Amino acid sequence: MTVKRRTHPSFAEILLIALLALAGAKALHVLYGPDAAPRSVETDPAAAAVEWDRDSLGRELYDSLSAGEREISFPYDCSDVLFDVFRQVLADHPELFWLSGSGSLVKKTSGLSVTVDFKPEILADDDEIRSRSKALEERAEEILSLCSAEETLWDRLRLLHDILVDETDYDSEAAEELSLEKTGDDRLNQSTSAYGCLVNRRAVCSGYAAAFQLLAERLGAECRRVQGTELKNGAPHEWNAVYLEGDWYQTDVTWDDPVFAEEPLEGYRSYDYFCVTTEVILQNHVIAEPASVPLCTADACNYYVRTGCVIGEYDFETVSRIVEDQCGNDCVFLKFPDEAAAEDALDRLLKGQEIFDVPAVRELGVKSARGIASEVGTVCLWLIF
């Protein structure tokens, strides 16, 4: 049987074609408007978008900031996360000391494309930044050369801690102005930076922390800054977390500066917050974002543990041995479990004059002794010849 093929469309087919054409015309009208000329349309806008994530944004931002750029354009919509990434870049790179942490952004759209223009706040001109960068690098190299001569990484970080404590004055004036939320001031910005701590030798807590991070990392240690507050008064505070010998430790160089200890004699530096546990730091610090800070439970690198100064309870023979081991130092340290135990030991040694019963003290001809007890249980003694 022969099959006949139809060579002309039926009425139903003609009607269907007309309806499809009309629908297509309406779609073009919606896309382009009644007077617009037809053009190609990207059916999947994401396919044409610039691929990026927070890590790539951070790298691009760091490259531009370290090059001193004052305006940075991103050909994608990063407006929702830009300031978070900007703050993280500054937290990871204390060498970018000229940036205040503030800035502004403008988001521009054109069709399917988006551009974000970012202007970080910079409180110094380019020549001043270059001059300060050179001074910072020279000071950093000076300190690193001293620390690098030490045998172990622990010794290098301990010496770095000592240099920052001994050679930096806490900037109480800047701290007061910052507590009043004063911003946009170049002098204040310097005091919050590694530059202020290392070159001006005057800083607030964030300056100490930035300087310790900058140089600790260059000595080979992984180091972060920790943001939080002081437990007693809620004042903003900043310190460090450092990875050493397989464990994380909290370190607060600012609070080891004697300005906080009201020391009776010159030459005192504390080690109460050098490589301590999270439990110890939380006795008087509040961590702003605990989940972002490593939990510190080890004490092997704690200064008092490492140097054999820890005493569970007062025992004269143990005290005598520890004092004898330290008689050649500027200060003699005894670390007790808490402040009450430290105060009791100090009373026995000074008011009870048991310090003069220590054989090494008698042999050295010590004429008098003075001391203090800290809130975390440390006794510090000065032997006066």
Residue after which a domain boundary falls, among 103, 122, 141: 122
Contact partners, residue 146, CB within 8 Å, separation at least 6: 159, 163
Neighbour tally for 252: CB within 10 Å: 26
pLDDT of residue 13: 44
pLDDT of residue 269: 84
Contact partners, residue 307, CB within 8 Å, separation at least 6: 333
pLDDT of residue 258: 77
Residue 14 covered by a domain: no
CATH number at residue 113: 3.30.110
Residue 13 covered by a domain: no
Contact partners, residue 270, CB within 8 Å, separation at least 6: 165, 255, 256, 257, 258, 260, 261, 374, 378, 380
Burial of 5 (0-12, 13-18, 19+ CB in 10 A): exposed
pLDDT of residue 122: 95
Contact yes or no for 113/75 (Cβ under 8 A): yes
pLDDT of residue 358: 95
Range of the domain at 68: 57-122
Contact yes or no for 380/374 (Cβ under 8 A): yes
Residue 77 covered by a domain: yes
Residue 375 covered by a domain: yes
Residue 1 covered by a domain: no
Per-residue pLDDT reduced to its tens digit, 225-257? 999 999 999 999 999 999 999 999 999 999 998
- Cα–Cα distances in Å, from 365 out to 278, 361, 368, 369, 372? 41, 6, 9, 11, 21
pLDDT of residue 1: 37
Residue after which a domain boundary falls, among 122, 137, 159: 122
pLDDT of residue 181: 83
- Predicted TM-score (pTM) of the model is 0.84
Residue after which a domain boundary falls, among 80, 104, 122: 122
Residue 50 covered by a domain: no
Total domains in the chain come to: 2
Share of the chain residues as helix, strand and coil, in percent rounded to the nearest 5: 45, 20, 35
Residue 293 covered by a domain: no
pLDDT of residue 262: 53
Residue 31 covered by a domain: no
pLDDT of residue 6: 37
- Give the pLDDT means over successive 10-residue stretches in the chain (385 positions): 39 41 38 37 48 95 96 96 97 96 95 95 95 98 98 98 96 93 89 98 98 98 97 95 98 86 64 97 97 97 97 96 91 96 97 95 91 94 89
